[in-house]
């Protein structure tokens, strides 16, 4: 079975620009979550998508938005980039089981905002 793949692996953007990060979920997983991991910190939950709808959101402003497609792949969009948005962005896919089955994480996209 394939794992979670994210693209691009690295990205440099200028403050005020917009960015789109992409994620392909693991085969059989229909739920995708996005996390932001700032340097030296644990991952912070941004939001989750299930059946192409956002069904949970963390403490992130509306300029963080997402999409999920019929094939369960997903995008994270960030508008009006700020320097503090520099981080590793992780995508995780899972099955929506009540017991919280294991989550499979991608290797992440390292975003640097200058």
Partner 1 sequence: AQSVAQPEDQVNVAEGNPLTVKCTYSVSGNPYLFWYVQYPNRGLQFLLKYITGDNLVKGSYGFEAEFNKSQTSFHLKKPSALVSDSALYFCAVREGGYNKLIFGAGTRLAVHP
Chain positions contacting partner 1, by CB under 8 A: 4, 6, 31, 33, 35, 40-45, 48, 50, 55-56, 58, 90, 92, 94, 96, 98-100, 102-108, 110
Pairing of strands 53-57, 64-68: unpaired
Contact between residue 85 and residue 21 where contact means Cβ atoms under 8 Å apart = no
Closest C-alpha among 47, 90, 54, 49 to residue 71: 49
């Amino acid at each position: 079975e394939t794992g979670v793949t994210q693209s691009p692996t690295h990205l440099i953007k200028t403050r005020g620009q917009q960015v789109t990060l992409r994620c392909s979920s693991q085969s059989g997983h229909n739920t995708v979550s996005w996390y932001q991991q700032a340097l030296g910190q644990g991952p912070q939950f941004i939001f989750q998508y299930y059946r192409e709808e956002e069904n949970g959101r963390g403490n992130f402003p509306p300029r963080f938005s997402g999409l999920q497609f019929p094939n369960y792949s997903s995008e994270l969009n960030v508008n009006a980039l700020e320097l503090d948005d520099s981080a590793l962005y992780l995508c995780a896919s899972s099955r929506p089981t009540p017991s919280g089955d294991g989550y499979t994480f991608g290797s992440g996209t390292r975003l640097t905002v200058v």
